C-alpha cells in the first residue's frame, strides 16, 4: 500500500542548488552530468518543474502530481505518477513509468516509451486532445474579447462613458492580447517535430488505477491540512 506522507518540491533554477545541498542530489545539471533525483524513500512526492536549460532525471519515485512547464532535457523513468501535466516542454523522455492521468499541451520533440497507461489516457495523449480543446477555447475567448471591445468602443463613440463601458473595453483588449499570444504559441508548436509514442502497456482495469489515485490524493490533502 502506498504511504500517505507527501512532500512537495518546486524545482526552479534558483532553488535546485539548495535542494542539491540539502538532499544530496547528484549531478551538475549539464548534458554530461544531469541532476539525478532518485528514490527519496517511502514517501509520495508532488513535484513542479520549471528548469529550462537544466538536465534533470527523475527515477524510482512515487509521485502524486508532476507538473512540468517550459522545461526541456528531462528524463522521467521507472516512476509511479498519479497525475502528469506538461506544458510547452521540449526534449522530454518519459520511459518505463506507470501513469494514471496525463495532460499534455504544446509539448514537442518528446519521447514516450514503454509506459503503462489507461487506454483512454493513451488515446487522448496521441490525439493531443487537451491541446485541441484549448485551441478551440482560445478562438471562443478571442471572439468574446472582440465583442467586449466592440461594446466598449461603441459606448465611447456614443459618449456613454461609465465604469461598465471602461470595464468592457479593458477586458476585451486584455482578452484579445492574451488569446492572440496563445494562438501564436500554438502556431509555433505546429512547426516543431512531433512527439514519439512507442511500446505502451495498457492498464486493463480503470477501477484499480482510480483506487491508487484516491490513496495518493488523500495523502496529499492530509499533508496540507
Count of domains observed in the chain: 2
Task: Name the residue with higher pLDDT: 145 or 221.
Answer: 145
The answer, yes or no, to whether residue 225 has pLDDT greater than 50, is no
Q: Do 163 and 112 share a structural domain?
A: no
Q: Do 138 and 126 share a structural domain?
A: no
Q: Do 180 and 206 share a structural domain?
A: no
Q: Do 155 and 215 share a structural domain?
A: no
Q: Do 176 and 143 share a structural domain?
A: yes
Does residue 99 fall inside a structural domain?
A: yes
Q: Do 203 and 148 share a structural domain?
A: no
Does residue 1 fall inside a structural domain?
A: no
Does residue 62 fall inside a structural domain?
A: yes
Which cell is 197 given?
509514442
Does residue 83 fall inside a structural domain?
A: yes
pLDDT at 164: 87
Q: Do 121 and 158 share a structural domain?
A: no
Contact 110, 92 (CB under 8 A): yes
**Mean per-residue pLDDT of the chain:** 86
Average pLDDT over residues 168-190: 96
| Cβ within 8 Å of residue 20, ≥6 positions away | 35
Grade residue 17 by pLDDT with cuts at 50, 70 and 90. confident
Grade residue 216 by pLDDT with cuts at 50, 70 and 90. low
Q: Do 61 and 34 share a structural domain?
A: yes
Grade residue 206 by pLDDT with cuts at 50, 70 and 90. low
Does residue 30 fall inside a structural domain?
A: yes
pLDDT at 27: 87
pLDDT at 13: 79
Spatial distance between the Cα atoms of 36 and 177, rounded to a whole number of angstroms: 39
Spatial distance between the Cα atoms of 174 and 200, rounded to a whole number of angstroms: 42
What are the tens digits of pLDDT across the range 105-163? 999 999 999 999 998 999 999 999 999 999 999 999 999 999 999 999 998 888 778 88
pLDDT at 1: 39
Grade residue 204 by pLDDT with cuts at 50, 70 and 90. low
Q: Do 135 and 171 share a structural domain?
A: yes
Does residue 107 fall inside a structural domain?
A: yes
Which domain, by its residues, includes 109?
6-130+193-224
What are the tens digits of pLDDT across the range 32-65? 999 998 878 778 889 999 988 889 999 999 999 9
Interior CA angle at 118 toward 107 and 137, to 5°?
A: 45
Spatial distance between the Cα atoms of 129 and 111, rounded to a whole number of angstroms: 18
Among candidate residues 47, 184, 177, the one with its CA nearest the CA of residue 106:
184
Q: Do 21 and 122 share a structural domain?
A: yes
Q: Do 150 and 65 share a structural domain?
A: no
Q: Do 160 and 71 share a structural domain?
A: no
Average pLDDT over residues 1-24: 74
Q: What is the dihedral of CA 103, 7, 39, 122, to 10 degrees?
A: -10
The answer, yes or no, to whether residue 224 has pLDDT greater than 90, is no
Share of the chain above pLDDT 70, in %: 88
Lowest mean pLDDT among 20-24, 54-58, 176-180, 184-188: 20-24
Amino acid at each position: 500500500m502506498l504511504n500517505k506522507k507527501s512532500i512537495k518540491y518546486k524545482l526552479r533554477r534558483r532553488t535546485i542548488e539548495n535542494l542539491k545541498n540539502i538532499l544530496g542530489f547528484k549531478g551538475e545539471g549539464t548534458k554530461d552530468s544531469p541532476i539525478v533525483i532518485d528514490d527519496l524513500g517511502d514517501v509520495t512526492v508532488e513535484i513542479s518543474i520549471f528548469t529550462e536549460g537544466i538536465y534533470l532525471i527523475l527515477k524510482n519515485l512515487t509521485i502524486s502530481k508532476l507538473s512540468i512547464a517550459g522545461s526541456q532535457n528531462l528524463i522521467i523513468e521507472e516512476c509511479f505518477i498519479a497525475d502528469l501535466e506538461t506544458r510547452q516542454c521540449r526534449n522530454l523522455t518519459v520511459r518505463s513509468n506507470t501513469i494514471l492521468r496525463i495532460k499534455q499541451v504544446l509539448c514537442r520533440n518528446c519521447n514516450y516509451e514503454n509506459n503503462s497507461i489507461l487506454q483512454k489516457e493513451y488515446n487522448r495523449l496521441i490525439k493531443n486532445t487537451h491541446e485541441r480543446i484549448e485551441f478551440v477555447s482560445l478562438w471562443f475567448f478571442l471572439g468574446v474579447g472582440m465583442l467586449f471591445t466592440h461594446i466598449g468602443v461603441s459606448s465611447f463613440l456614443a459618449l456613454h462613458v461609465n465604469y461598465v463601458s471602461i470595464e468592457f473595453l479593458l477586458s476585451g483588449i486584455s482578452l484579445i492580447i492574451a488569446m492572440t499570444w496563445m494562438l501564436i504559441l500554438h502556431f509555433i508548436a505546429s512547426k516543431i517535430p512531433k512527439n514519439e509514442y512507442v511500446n505502451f502497456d495498457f492498464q486493463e482495469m480503470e477501477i484499480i488505477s482510480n483506487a491508487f489515485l484516491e490513496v495518493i490524493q488523500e495523502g496529499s490533502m492530509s499533508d496540507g491540512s
